[in-house]
Amino acid sequence: MDFEARWFPVLYALREKSSQPVTTLASSLRLTHPAINQIAGDMEKHGYVASRRDKKDERKRLLRLTPKGKQLIKNLEPVWRIIESETQRILKNSGGRILKSMQNIEEALDEKDMYERVMERLKSRYFSKIEILDYKPQYKKYFKELNYEWLEKYFQVEPQDEKILSDPNKYVIKPGGFILFAKYKGRIVGTTAVMKHTDSLFELTKMAVTESEQGKYIGEKLAIKAIEKSRNMGATELILHTSPKLKPAIALYEKLGFEKSDEPDLDLPKYKRRTIVMRLDL
């Protein structure tokens, strides 16, 4: 999420009352007037708050949440609830004496820090809501639409892309590959394909998650299912092409065990956009 931790006090205060003077915020949060102005300025640049002069007192500057700011809070609230829950869990398990409790808390956080605890809970929560579906003709349009979204944002749609996206049955399914879709809250929001090159070598390709639903482990669940299915179909190697520009995607692939590799000894399609090859031994 596009969020900085130092924004939290102002965002949380405006959540309780969506329009407040800077002076009131400074007093209630025990921060200086310039500090509030600096935080508010950053948030305003990102579109989360707006400011105006108080009609009753021109010397006062009022801050209010924008619709984008309210949506940010809606996105953050599940994370806040998990942080609160995990904090209560640690405190409950730490006993009653304060010094001993502090030691127990430190030991618990050394074993697994708060970031790990929150991310595990978030992942579990999102994973349970993501349904992975096999290809059906009625899903064909989503395969094209979802991939066009990221291709047009970062690169351009090349002839090889157009060929596969326009006729996935011919270029992916019939040669022995498969296509998966992710359904979240009743909508198809992600997809990926696996192309079969030989009995043992498959290629993970055309992975896409619509921008509004990114960060919810949809791509990870798609990739895990694709790896599992490829292994069950007899593949011993899975390769993929990605761009150095797509750093979050590379981080995901590395997390799943893919490593950067030389070009395989196959006549694979070439793209004008710069690509790197990654490989996973199954």
Nearest to 268 by CA among 246, 234, 247, 239: 239
Same fold, 5-68 and 130-281: no
Annotated domain spans of the chain: 5-68, 77-128, 130-281
- The tens place of each residue's pLDDT in the chain, 282 residues long, gives 788 889 999 999 998 887 888 888 989 998 888 899 999 999 999 999 998 877 666 667 889 999 999 999 998 998 888 988 888 887 777 665 667 777 888 888 888 888 888 888 888 888 889 999 999 999 999 999 999 999 999 888 888 889 999 999 999 999 999 999 999 999 999 999 999 999 999 999 999 999 989 888 999 999 999 999 999 999 999 999 898 889 989 999 999 999 988 765 555 666 778 888 899 998
What are 37's strand-pairing partners? Answer: none
Is 183 in contact with 212 (CB distance < 8 Å)? no
Would you give the end-to-end CA distance of the chain in angstroms? 33
Predicted pLDDT of residue 267: 59
Predicted pLDDT of residue 265: 54
Predicted pLDDT of residue 94: 67
Is 108 in contact with 35 (CB distance < 8 Å)? no
Q: Going by CATH, does the domain composed of 5-68 fall within 1.10.10.10? A: yes
Can you say whether the dihedral through the CA atoms of 14, 18, 22, 28 is positive or negative?
Answer: negative
Token reading at 156: 């351009």
Predicted pLDDT of residue 180: 97
pTM above threshold 0.85: no
Is 54 in contact with 60 (CB distance < 8 Å)? yes
Indicate the CATH number for domain 130-281: 3.40.630.30
